[in-house]
């Protein structure tokens, strides 16, 4: 197991380097210069002014030189200073990661808690009214675009019923409290959750349906085990593997994927920061976000792989 983890970490390190090289090159190839954004509004700005400023900021160096300098700083724990805000990137990421994880992790956990029972019930009684109801719900959830779901929820709960806030993390200018935060989380979490629930329910249903027809389930029933034990202990554990894979695929979305939901609900997370940074050509922040997402996804995938072993010991033995 130890060897396996070390091997996976080494592969992850190489993948991480590959990702950063690729993003750095792509970002630097984008038209427009951060200097132009910094000096926007300056009268009589000339190409020479921009070139001079780029030289001051080291942006006139070849891309590989800029990348090596950046990587060296990253290895020393320094992600640089944002061109847009003139603040350390680590500080900015620190402020934004919390709100994003608060939304996405809550949505993910709730989605799993809803999708798993829904999928099991649908698979256990296929083509029953329960199954049809869960299918309709999950198709709607998976197919409805986030912004559309958000608009409907805002219209219903904020405008028509007036019971939930339409945007932000806290009420206006009234301090910050946990209950207020929870209240503001409800609509964005439901928006995000709907899609996860739809996808996970479908996976859970098909996987459970397959497992319930397997020989070992028949054997368990033949041994005279109670139906509940057959479903929830024997079948359930085996049916979880595809769901774990699906959750693994959602990991990148945990940090960067809530862009639309964050925008619509003015949620001050990583998604909005990413959009602002890209528009501003704020390379240090773009790279900082890349480092964070890449690390999270790579480590998350290692954890998911280890989870396979826990769920199915045959995977560990292999």
Partner 1 sequence: MKYKKGLALVTAAILGLTLCACGGSAQDSPAADSQPQGGSTNEQVSNDSGDTETADSKESTEEKIVTIAYDQTWNSLNPYSSTGVMGDTVCNQIYDNLIAQGMSGSVYPRLAEKWEVSDDNLSITFHLNGNAKWHDGEPVTADDVVFTCKLITKGDIVTSRRQLMQNVAGTDDSGVELSTDSVEVEKIDDLTVKMNMKKPMSGSMFLKQASFFFVLPEHLLKDVTPAEFMESDFWNNPVGNGPFKYESTVPGERVVYTVNKDYYMGEIGFDKLVIRSIASANLLSSLMSGEVDLIPGSRVSFPITDVPMAEAQDNLVVESLQSPGHVWLIVDNEKFDVKTRQAFDMAINREEMVKELVGGKGTVREGMYASNNLYYDPAISQVSFSNKYDPENAKKILEENNFDFSQELLIVTVAGDSLREQTATLFQRDMANIGVTVNVQSADLSTMMQMMRDKQADFGIMKTSSDGANPLENQDFFTIGGMYNLSHVTDPTGQDLFSKIMTALTDEEIKEYASQLQLWHAEAECYYFLYSPDITVIYNNRLSNMKTEDMSMSVFDYWNWKVD
**Structure token digits, residue 214:** 């397997």
Q: Which residues are CB-contacts of 145 (< 8 A; sequence separation ≥ 6)? A: 260
Task: Say if residues 195 and 147 touch (Cβ distance below 8 Å).
Answer: no
CA dihedral 185, 190, 193, 195 (to 10 degrees): -140
- Count CB atoms within 10 A of the CB of residue 175: 7
Least distance to partner 1, CB of residue 200, Å: 16
User: DSSP letters along 211-273, please?
Assistant: HHTSHHHHHHHHTT--HHHIIIIIIHHHHHHHHHHHHHHTHHHHHHTTHHHHHHTT--SHHHH
Give, as ranges, the residues between 59 and 88 that touch partner 1 (CB under 8 A).
81, 84-87
Q: Does 127 bind partner 1 (CB under 8 A)?
A: no
Least distance to partner 1, CB of residue 150, Å: 8
Q: Which residues are CB-contacts of 298 (< 8 A; sequence separation ≥ 6)? A: 12, 15, 16
Give, as ranges, the residues between 283 and 302 that touch partner 1 (CB under 8 A).
none
Rg of the chain taking only CA atoms, in angstroms: 24
Task: Say if residues 149 and 260 touch (Cβ distance below 8 Å).
Answer: no
Among 17, 171, 213, 303, binds partner 1 (CB under 8 A): 171
User: DSSP letters along 260-316, please?
Assistant: HHHHHTT--SHHHHHHHHHHHT-HHHHHHHHHHHHHHHHHHHHHHHHHHHHH-HHHH
Task: Pick the stretch among 66-74, 216-224, 267-275, 304-312 that binds partner 1 (CB under 8 A).
Answer: 267-275
**Structure token digits, residue 9:** 């970490």
Q: Which is nearer to partner 1, 183 or 221 (CB)?
A: 183
Q: Which is nearer to partner 1, 18 or 145 (CB)?
A: 145
Q: Which is nearer to partner 1, 129 or 174 (CB)?
A: 174
Q: Does 278 bind partner 1 (CB under 8 A)?
A: yes
Among 7, 22, 25, 56, binds partner 1 (CB under 8 A): 56
**Structure token digits, residue 22:** 């690729």
Secondary structure (3-state) at 107: helix
Among 62, 77, 173, 224, binds partner 1 (CB under 8 A): 173
**Structure token digits, residue 158:** 């904020």
Give, as ranges, the residues between 16 and 55 that touch partner 1 (CB under 8 A).
30-33, 36-47, 49-50, 53
Least distance to partner 1, CB of residue 230, Å: 13
Q: Does 267 bind partner 1 (CB under 8 A)?
A: yes
**Widest CA span of the chain, in angstroms?**
86
Q: Which is nearer to partner 1, 244 or 297 (CB)?
A: 244
Task: Pick the stretch among 214-222, 274-282, 289-297, 298-306 that binds partner 1 (CB under 8 A).
Answer: 274-282
Give, as ranges, the residues between 179 and 218 that touch partner 1 (CB under 8 A).
179-180, 182-183, 185-186
Give, as ranges, the residues between 145 and 164 that touch partner 1 (CB under 8 A).
147, 151, 154-155, 158-159, 161-164
Least distance to partner 1, CB of residue 284, Å: 13
Q: Which is nearer to partner 1, 245 or 263 (CB)?
A: 263
Task: Pick the stretch among 219-227, 250-258, 270-278, 296-304 that binds partner 1 (CB under 8 A).
Answer: 270-278
Least distance to partner 1, CB of residue 82, Å: 8
Least distance to partner 1, CB of residue 129, Å: 24
């Amino acid at each position: 197991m130890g060897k396996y983890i070390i091997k996976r970490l080494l592969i992850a390190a190489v993948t991480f380097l590959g990702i950063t090289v690729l993003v750095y090159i792509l970002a630097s190839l984008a038209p427009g210069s951060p200097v132009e954004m910094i000096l926007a509004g300056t009268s009589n700005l000339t190409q020479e002014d921009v070139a001079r400023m780029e030289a001051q900021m080291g942006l006139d160096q070849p891309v590989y030189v800029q990348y090596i300098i950046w990587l060296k700083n990253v290895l020393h724990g320094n992600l640089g200073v944002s061109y847009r805000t003139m603040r350390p990137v680590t500080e900015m990421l620190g402020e934004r990661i919390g709100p994003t994880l608060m939304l996405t992790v809550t949505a993910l956990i709730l989605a799993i808690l809803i999708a798993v029972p829904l999928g099991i019930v649908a698979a256990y009684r296929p083509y029953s009214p329960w199954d049809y109801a869960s299918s309709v719900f999950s198709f709607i959830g998976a197919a409805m675009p986030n912004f559309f779901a958000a608009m409907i929820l805002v219209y219903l709960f904020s405008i028509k019923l007036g019971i939930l806030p339409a945007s932000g993390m806290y009420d206006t200018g009234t301090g910050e409290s946990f209950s207020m935060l929870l209240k503001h989380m409800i609509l964005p979490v439901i928006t995000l959750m709907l899609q996860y629930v739809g996808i996970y329910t479908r996976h859970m249903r098909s996987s459970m349906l397959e497992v319930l027809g397997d020989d070992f389930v028949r054997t368990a029933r033949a041994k005279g085990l109670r139906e509940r034990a057959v479903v929830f202990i024997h079948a359930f554990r085996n049916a979880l593997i595809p769901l774990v894979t699906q959750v693994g695929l959602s990991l990148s979305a945990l940090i960067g994927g809530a862009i639309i939901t964050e925008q619509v609900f003015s949620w001050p997370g990583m998604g909005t920061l990413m959009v602002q940074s890209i528009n501003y050509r704020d390379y240090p922040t773009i790279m900082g976000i890349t480092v964070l997402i890449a690390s999270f996804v790579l480590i998350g995938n290692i954890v998911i792989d280890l989870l396979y072993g826990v769920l199915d010991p045959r995977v560990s033995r292999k």
